[in-house]
Amino acid sequence: MNINTILSNLEAKHPGEKEYLQAVKEVLICVEDVYNQHPEFEKAKIIERMVEPDRIVTFRVTWVDDKGEVQNNIGYRVQFNNAIGPYKGGIRFHASVNLSILKFLGFEQTFKNALTTLPMGGAKGGSDFSPRGKSDAEIMRFCQAFILCLWKNLGPDRDVPAGDIGVGGREVGYMYGMYKKLVNECTGTFTGKGLDFGGSLIRPEATGFGALYFVQSMLAEKGDTIKGKTVAVSGFGNVAWGATLKATELGAKVVTISGPDGYIYDPDGISGDKIDYMLYLRATGEDIVAPYAEKYPNATFFPGKKPWEQKVDIALPCATQNEVDGEDAKKLVANGVELVAEVSNMGCTPEAIDTFIESKTTYAPGKAVNAGGVATSGLEMSQNAEHLQWSAEEVDDRLHAIMKNIHTQCVKHGTEEDGYINYMKGANIAGFMKVANAMMGQGII
Ligand code: 2IT
């Protein structure tokens, strides 16, 4: 494989899609050696096929706001790869959404889903619709209009969406409701549904819980535990909430959360009712964390800043892509951070990752760390298919086992000669090999 040729061809075909090209480059660099040991991959043009989505659906979403004005947004579904199972991945509603971001997310999702060991292909969708400040009625009308455009491409064995940034239980409920009305079938073609209509226990917690199970395995590998460690979390949405809840339960102290307006430092730890308060902050729809410092005066609000300047043992980016840059990484390393686990997708820039790996800081990428979310979506699909609902304990046990297994795969493929575990390499190789073998087994299609 000639990485430079593949990348320059992609760049010529898709100019300016920087997040997508960044995600592809990371995988290519990691899998180059194993790929070259398999001439049959080269002959079947596996990598050229894998880096392009199977299909992209783009559509105009037109809806009416509360003032009676007609609004237009763009909607997308990137069906990236279904070699392993039906397309599966979340939907993101955020003003920043564009094709490059959804292609990077769909590409990453393909490998992440492969790592879960469950039969799911990779996809991602979304819209540049911004939920910030929108009324409940506006959110519902937008979700309904979005699904009117997309429903024909979905199905329990075709493509199963879920939530992502800006899409939680409420939005999934509205989208699933419209989908169900159109197809007149209760096949559960969404995950993250409400518990009363086919949702799974533990799904809301799963991304954060799974991440902490993964962090526990990383620490155990070093003969350490999480008890008593200080943790910086970014974001304050569903993922940050689940991570804070589990980290606290395991005896760690979470001292930061953040929003687009800045970050909160709480030296007493974000625990108990403060964790519930995160849900309240999110539910206001204003997308700010500043009110936390008014409610809990021991905490400080740092406007316009990121939490990575604080001295902590563990950093858990839980907000969005590229939220930890090279400078942030240098600060974390200089302050003696022991472990960085991306809970957001592609939370670190390539410069940040280089800084962690060069300083031999224990670092793991989102596609391994946050796979518990989609894994539990896979468990929701299983429950829907057998028309049953499992207990919270059963789902949590399976989630825990899946995260341990992903950790084992990363160690197997990522351990370097000096013993340093390159989790990025391990996750990319393990995910890639599974997708490549599945594609090989199904011929040239
Ligand atoms: O990035 C992700 O893995 C998700 N947003 C969850 C996807 C899913 O299908 O549960």
Q: CB-based contacts of 248: which residues, under 8 Å, 6+ apart?
A: 254, 269, 270, 271, 275
Q: What is the pLDDT of residue 31?
A: 97
CA of 263 from ligand 1 middle (Å) equals 25
Q: CB-based contacts of 352: which residues, under 8 Å, 6+ apart?
A: 324, 325, 326, 328, 329
The reply to whether ligand 1 has any atom less than 6 angstroms from the CB of 191 is yes
On whether the CB atoms of residues 176 and 193 are closer than 8 A, the answer is yes
**In Å, what is the CA distance from 63 to each residue of 67, 70, 126, 141, 145?**
11, 6, 15, 7, 6
Query: How does strand 70-81 pair with strand 122-127?
Result: antiparallel
Coil, strand or helix at 126 = strand
List, as own/partner pairs, every contact residues 62-71 make where C-beta atoms lie below 8 angstroms and the sequence separation is at least 24, other chains included.
62/145, 63/138, 63/141, 63/142, 63/144, 63/145, 64/141, 65/138, 66/135, 66/137, 66/138, 71/142
Q: Best of 202, 205, 239, 377 to mutate for ligand 1, by most ligand atoms within 8 A of CB? A: 377
Q: What is the pLDDT of residue 385?
A: 98
Cα 223 versus chain centre, distance: 28
Question: Using CA atoms, how far apart are residues 143 and 393, in angstroms rounded to an integer?
Answer: 32
Among candidates 309, 393, 380, 322, which has minimal Cα distance to 116? 380
CA of 35 from ligand 1 middle (Å) equals 27
Q: Whose CA is nearest to atom 9 of ligand 1?
A: 89
Among candidates 324, 115, 318, which has minimal Cα distance to 211? 318
Question: Using CA atoms, how far apart are residues 242 and 376, in angstroms rounded to an integer?
Answer: 13
The reply to whether ligand 1 has any atom less than 6 angstroms from the CB of 86 is no
Q: What is the pLDDT of residue 1?
A: 81
On whether the CB atoms of residues 243 and 316 are closer than 8 A, the answer is yes
Q: Best of 103, 238, 345, 374 to mutate for ligand 1, by most ligand atoms within 8 A of CB? A: 374
Which run of H or of E encompasses 77? Answer: strand 70-81
Q: Which parts of the chain register pLDDT below 50? A: none
> How many helices (DSSP H) and strands (DSSP E) are in the chain?
17, 12
Question: Using CA atoms, how far apart are residues 294 and 331, in angstroms rounded to an integer?
Answer: 28
Q: Is the pTM of this model over 0.75?
A: yes
Question: Using CA atoms, how far apart are residues 265 and 243, in angstroms rounded to an integer?
Answer: 16
